[in-house]
Amino acid sequence: MYTVKFNFEQKGLEPVTVENIAPGQSILEVALDNHIELHHNCGMVCACSTCHVYIDSGESCLPELSDKEEDFIDRARNPRLNSRLGCQCILEGNGGMVEVTLPDQSLIHGD
């Protein structure tokens, strides 16, 4: 099982930790299932950059960055070396802890 800690760049939001997450879910799905706002205009098919997140720790629990994902990250607002798309960060393996920071969602237009 996994634990995912969500940190927020948006002012006024406190970190949220979600525990007992089964493998196979994406960071985006975990966020949405727990009422955490993370935009996802393309419907989770790696065709936009609105679910852009920063992976602070736990990269070993996630698949490697694909060329397609990297292309869309280049279009994201303020990309960094630890940028990923939440829809492509599928929790895989036996479990662990992943810590992510969500960019300020109030600056993003869409669902």
Whole-number pLDDT of residue 43 = 78
Q: What's the structural domain count of the chain?
A: 1
Does 23 reside within a domain? yes
Whole-number pLDDT of residue 91 = 97
DSSP strand pairing (52-57 vs 96-102): antiparallel
What is the CATH classification number for the domain harbouring 100?
3.10.20.30
Per-residue H/E/C for 41-102: CCCCCCCCCCCEEEEEECHHHCCCCCHHHHHHHCCCCCCCCCEEEHHHCECCCCCEEEEEEE
Q: Which has the higher per-residue pLDDT, 16 or 47?
A: 16
Report the predicted TM-score, pTM, of the whole model to 2 decimal places: 0.90
Contact 61, 100 (CB under 8 A): no
Does 92 reside within a domain? yes
For 43-83, what is each residue's pLDDT tens digit?
778 888 889 999 999 999 999 999 999 999 998 889 999 99
Quickly state the pLDDT bin for 107 (edges 50, 70, 90).
low
Does 102 reside within a domain? yes
Does 56 reside within a domain? yes
CA distances from 2 to 7, 30, 34, 47 (A): 16, 10, 14, 26
Does 68 reside within a domain? yes
Round to whole Å and give the CA distance between 85 and 11: 22
Domain that holds residue 72: 2-106
Reply yes or no on whether the pLDDT at 35 is more than 90.
Answer: yes
Whole-number pLDDT of residue 41 = 82
Does 100 reside within a domain? yes
Does 111 reside within a domain? no
Q: Tokens for 84?
A: 């990923």
Reply yes or no on whether the pLDDT at 111 is more than 80.
Answer: no
Does 6 reside within a domain? yes
Whole-number pLDDT of residue 109 = 56
